[in-house]
Each structure stands twice: as C-alpha cells, then as structure tokens.
Structure 1
Amino acid sequence: MVIARHDHAASVLPSGKVLVTGRYTTHDGHNTVEEYDPATHTWSPKDDMRQARRGHTASVLPLGKVLVTGGYNNIDGTLKSAELYDPALPSTQSWSPAGSMAEIRTAHTATVLPSGKVLIVGGFGVGGALASAELYGGAAPEKWTRTGAMGTGRYGHTATLLPSGKVLVVGGYGPRGELADAELYDPLTGSWTLAGSPSMTGRAHHTATLLPSGQVLVAGGGTSDSALYDPASGRWSQVGSMATARAHHTATLLPSGKVLVVGGMTAISLASAEVYDPGSQTWSPFATLTTARSHHTACLLPSGQVLVAGGHAGNGPLASAELLEP
C-alpha cells in the first residue's frame, strides 16, 4: 500500500476496486485514503477524508457511495462525525459531510439494512461500552435517528444481517469484560430480543459470517472454538474448533461456500490461515501468509481472490498486501 495501516477499513466498490480508509499510528489517527485496482494490481492515493480516524466503519450504500462513521483520533478523541465518499465525483470533491451520530463511538458496527438504512450499534463512547443504536438514511440522506437500545452495552462485537432482515449481534466487551451472549434486532419494530449464547465463554474481536444456508458461523475471539447460529430455530450449536486460538483476525465467505479465516493474534500476530467447510463442520489448514498480521482487512474480489491488506506485526503497522487464491 501507499502507507502502512492497521485498524483501517476496506470496502469493495461496485467497480471491483477496494477503498481503504484511515489507520492507527502511535501519534494520531490518519485521514489518508487509497484504492486498490485488481485489474492492474496497483495502489493509488485518493482524496483525504475530512477527519482523521481509526476504529471506524465504512459501509457501501446501495448507490455505491461509502458511509464512514465514528472512530477515534488523538486530537479530537472519540468521534460522532460521519462522511460520505462518492467514487463518481472528481478529485477534491469526493468527500462530503454526512451529519453526526447522536453519540460518539468507536469499535462499533455498521450494517446496511434491506431498506438502505444503516444500523449503527454499540461501540465505546461516553461511560464505556454503549448499548445505544441509531439509523442513518431514509428519505433524508443526512438524517440520523435513534432506534431501540440493546440490553447490554458492548464494543468489539459483530453484527450480521440475516436473510430475514434482522441483525444478529454477538459478544464483544461489556461493562464487566468479554460477553458470551447475543441479541437480535428487528428493524420492523426497532427492538431487541435475546438470542442465546454461542458458548459459555465470552469473546470479543471475533468474526461472524453468514453462510449460504442462512446460518451464522462465529469463530475465535481469544479462543479457538466456533459455533453456528440457526435463525430458523434460534439455537446455537458447537462445531469443530480451529487449530489456533485467535482474535483480530478476518473471515471471508468464499464462492465455494467455505469460510477463510486469516491471521489475527494470540500473544503475537499470526501468519496461519484456516478454512471452514460447512458440509463437514470442520476446519483445515490453508497456506501460510507471507507476513504474520492482525488488525488487517480481507476483501473478496470479483475474481474470487482474497485481498489481505495491512495490519499489525510485532514491529508495527504493515504496508504490505497479499492476494490469496482459495
């Protein structure tokens, strides 16, 4: 990449290019942006964001714009601002303000709903772990509205859009440490219900992947275990464990229906990768990364390749990127 990054965000645009925003440094967040072109395998700088941020979200909206929300930098602290990137606009004009959330938040989640609205959930803000949630979009594109709050404040959790249009939120850090529970958001009522627990062990900075079956695979988060949530029954079941405990890893649904988990960390950053087979509910080893990394991003490209970019190793943030062939 043009610059070393971790705690950044990566978004696959309708063009197939990958937009990478922000990063963490020891001194500040960063407002730089770059783009990967899979046709030429090159990176190029793009217009800077209006505000430096890391630990933010970046969501591709139905018309191809990218909504960036929240995050943190050392000058402004935790942020409530949001901005929009329009890849169709010329240079110097691609970023515009998108209003402000009701609360400052970082390490939150953002989920694009079937309605086109974006659901922002939890995060770390005033008082610690947030239970609040809010919606962006609708008739007024820059309008933010509150929606129902979760039963438990959390950050470092996952949020997965289910085929029903509901959103499954799992784990994260709560007021007393790692959480083992899950909650389900219904956009029709704006309310939350309990959704059981994938295990007795709390987890944070794990992954949650929607499988073609409609089930959700939750993996890692300081542990090697994985579990399946079945929306039809509302039940959890344990499946095979990964060979390695990991957190701050990535999980990518492959065209085959299998799930590729890459990197992450235990006490150190990991170079290992594993593949989950939903048919056998087991994990198998995948080729080792060239560079151990955690806090990276992984994107499925139109070619079926997986772009792994940036992250953190023992000696700091990484500028390197790798293409994986599943």
Structure 2
Amino acid sequence: MKISVFFAIALPIVATACSRSQPTPTPVPPTELAAPSPPPASAAPGPLSSPPPPSTPARGTCVVVAKLSPWRYGPSVTPLPGGDVLIAGGRQGDDSQFMTAVDRFDPKTRAIRPAAPLAEARSLHGAAVAGDGRVVVAGGRTTKAVEVYDPTANQWSKVGNLGRELVTPIVVALPSGNVLVAGGDLMWKGALEDKAFEWRTKAQKLVPIAPMPAGSSGALVVKLPDGRIGIGADPLNTMEEALGEPEILYDEKAGWLRGKVGDPVIEAIQKDASGGTLLRPTSHRGPALRLTDDGIQALDPKGGEWREVAKLERSQPGATAAMLDDDTALVAGGIDEEKSLVEICSIAP
C-alpha cells in the first residue's frame, strides 16, 4: 500500500525574525487577491456548480461528492467554525506549478465554490483555526509568508514573514486561541528548523518565541489531554534519525520541554515506518486516525496496530484530509485531474 505523505498540521520559522519587530497585519483587498471577477469582500464565495443530491456513505466507506477545479494535490484542508471546509493551495505536476487556488466546500449541501485566492502560491504548508475563527496558513514550498484568512469577509491578509521557505511546519491551535507555528523542513539543505512563533489572536500579530530544543517538522504532532502539544521524531525522516531528535513538549505557560511525550499515537507511528498523514492526532477523543492513498486507518490502542475503518471510493494519492466530527472525515486533492476529488468518509466503529 502506498501512503500519502502530505500533512494536515504544520508550521515554520526564521533566524532573522527573532531580532525584528513583526509587522502589523496588512489586509490585502479582495480586489487584489480575487480571480478575474472577484466578489466584494463582504460577499460569500459564489457557487462553482450545482451540488449533487447529498448522499450519506455507509459506515466504513467514502463517497465522491465533488472534484477540485483547478485540480491539485497537497492542499491544506481546514474545517471552519461555520461548517464550511477551506481547501487552500496545492500544486500541479512539477515544482513550477504551485497554486493560489482556494475553495470552500459545504458538507451539508455538497456545494463547492471558489473563495478568494491566497496572496502567495504554496503547497505542503500548515493551517490551523485561531480562537477568533480565522485561519492561519504558514510555510510550504515557494513562500516565506504567513497569511490569515477571514471567512466572514472572504479575505486574506499577509501578517508576517518566516524568513525561510519551510515545508511541513508545525501549525497547531493552542488552548488559548493562539496558534503555534514552529519548525519545518529546509528541504534540500539537510536540516530542520528550530525557530518558533505564536500567532497572537487578540493582538493580531505574529510573535517570535523561544526556539525548539531541536529542529522538527510537522509530521508527528499530537494534542495531549492536558492541552500541551507533543512532538515526536518522524521515522520516515532520515534527517531526524541522524540528529537523534528527542520528543518535545510545548506548554503555553512553561514553553518548550524536552522529554518523552508518552503518547501511544507517537509510539505506534514510530514503530510503523509505513508513515501516513495523521488525521486525528490524539488519543483522548477516540482512536487516532491516519490517511493512506486508499482509505483511513485507526490505531488499536491495545495492540498498536492500524486497521482500515473507511475505504476511499477512488484512490487519491496526494490527498489531504480533516475530521468534520468524531465520525466523519473530508478528503480532498489528488495527483492528477482524475484523482483530484473530494470525498466524505464515514468512520466504522
């Protein structure tokens, strides 16, 4: 079985950013970002096509409900507070075809419609919803910029610069409503970033914080029951193996802590080098889930083995996924036009 290597959570960093004050968010007017005929900032994204009649997949199965247009793989997939799902960025073909395209998908009506595009094209980036309902997008190929999306205004704002192009950074919401942005893969430079930031939701500013104890990417990130963020070494990343990276904890009050996370999700993935995208990276709201090219697997907390709990209707290498609720997932994207689909999956018990 081939396994997807695109990650749902991530973030980035920068060596020079810590010595400079961060810029105040500068909203980019929708007219500068939108496609040829953009809607006003207050307008909701317009429908791309009439949705098909909603169908509910049987437990343990998935159903194709839409196609991404333009097609792309490696987008971020982020559920919004109002119920829509934001599908942002991605790429086509080789490294020269990165995308600014953004779509909003309504899981209830199955309507998919274009939204205001990203200010800068990116793929393999991270995204998380801040406490005010806005989406923080950071890292990815081809850009150093951090952007924030306002779902009410359908508008993107550039809010900072990480100083480096960082792939699969850690981008994760914190209990306070702030967003942690840290680490990332420097790609062909043979190193992982250790710089870290917080997006401060009330101040609307990207603020540098203390660096991580060791460089890391967003491959193995779990939210622990006490609100801390656990980060483990990725068994597929040979750079991390060479560095002997320890497990790391992030606590909003105490900062970075070295030491064993002790989470069964991290332990199971480190034993199973087949990898996969962590879809529900937590062990306290049901079993952990991960996405493969062909379906969704759940972790057996007793045996430490992964079992399939939802079979994709169509194989989607290069897809990304997110949980809509405890039993339903949305999978979007694919490596070519035929496989760049949107599927809704119902998780088997």
Q: TM-score, normalised by structure 1?
A: 0.72
**What residue identity is the alignment partner of 2:212?**
A
1:67 maps onto 2:131 in alignment: no
Distance change in 2, residues 1:40/1:272 (3 Å): closer
2:294 corresponds, among 264, 271, 280, to 271
1:218 aligned counterpart, secondary structure: helix
Please show how residues 213-224 of structure 1 align to structure 2 within 5 Å: 215-218=263-266
1:157 corresponds, among 214, 219, 226, to 219
1:142 corresponds, among 202, 205, 209, to 205
Map of 2:315 onto structure 1: 292
- How many angstroms does 1:160 deviate by? 2.1
Distance change in 2, residues 1:307/1:39 (3 Å): same
1:133 maps onto 2:162 in alignment: no
Map of 2:120 onto structure 1: 51
Map of 2:20 onto structure 1: none
Distance change in 2, residues 1:293/1:220 (3 Å): farther
Map of 2:47 onto structure 1: none
1:323 aligned counterpart, secondary structure: strand
Please show how residues 156-235 of structure 1 align to structure 2 within 5 Å: 156-172=218-234, 173=237, 175=239, 177=241, 181-195=246-260, 215-218=263-266, 225=271
Mapped to 2, the partners of 1:186 and 1:170 lie a distance apart of 15
1:136 aligned counterpart, secondary structure: strand
Alignment size in residue pairs: 272
More helix by share: 2
Name the Cα RMSD after superposition: 3.1
Q: Deviations over 1:124-165 (max 9, x none)?
A: 239531122222215531232232322x32335322232323
1:246 maps onto 2:315 in alignment: no
Mapped to 2, the partners of 1:54 and 1:291 lie a distance apart of 22
Distance change in 2, residues 1:292/1:88 (3 Å): same
1:24 maps onto 2:64 in alignment: no
Mapped to 1, the partners of 2:201 and 2:313 lie a distance apart of 44
**What residue identity is the alignment partner of 1:162?**
L
Q: Deviations over 1:55-101 (max 9, x none)?
A: 1111111111111112112xxxxx32111111111x5xx11121223
- How many angstroms does 1:302 deviate by? 4.5
1:262 maps onto 2:291 in alignment: yes
**What residue identity is the alignment partner of 1:148?**
P
Map of 2:18 onto structure 1: none
- How many angstroms does 1:52 deviate by? 0.5
Greater Cα shift, 125-134 or 176-185: 176-185
- How many angstroms does 1:45 deviate by? 0.8
Distance change in 2, residues 1:220/1:20 (3 Å): farther
**What residue identity is the alignment partner of 2:334?**
G
Mapped to 2, the partners of 1:144 and 1:317 lie a distance apart of 41
- How many angstroms does 1:295 deviate by? 3.3
1:320 maps onto 2:337 in alignment: no
Map of 1:207 onto structure 2: none
* Alpha carbons 2:75, 2:90 under 8 Å: kept: yes
* Alpha carbons 1:102, 1:144 under 8 Å: kept: no
Mapped to 1, the partners of 2:100 and 2:115 lie a distance apart of 11
- How many angstroms does 1:28 deviate by? 2.5
**What residue identity is the alignment partner of 1:55?**
L
- How many angstroms does 1:187 deviate by? 2.4
Residue ranges of structure 2 left out of the alignment (5+ in a row): 1-67
* Alpha carbons 2:179, 2:198 under 8 Å: kept: yes
1:217 aligned counterpart, secondary structure: helix
Map of 2:105 onto structure 1: 36
1:63 aligned counterpart, secondary structure: coil
Residue ranges of structure 1 left out of the alignment (5+ in a row): 74-78, 199-214, 227-244, 264-269
2:184 corresponds, among 123, 128, 152, to 123
1:130 aligned counterpart, secondary structure: coil
More strand by share: 1
1:112 maps onto 2:133 in alignment: no
* Alpha carbons 2:319, 2:334 under 8 Å: kept: yes
- How many angstroms does 1:185 deviate by? 2.1
**What residue identity is the alignment partner of 1:318?**
K
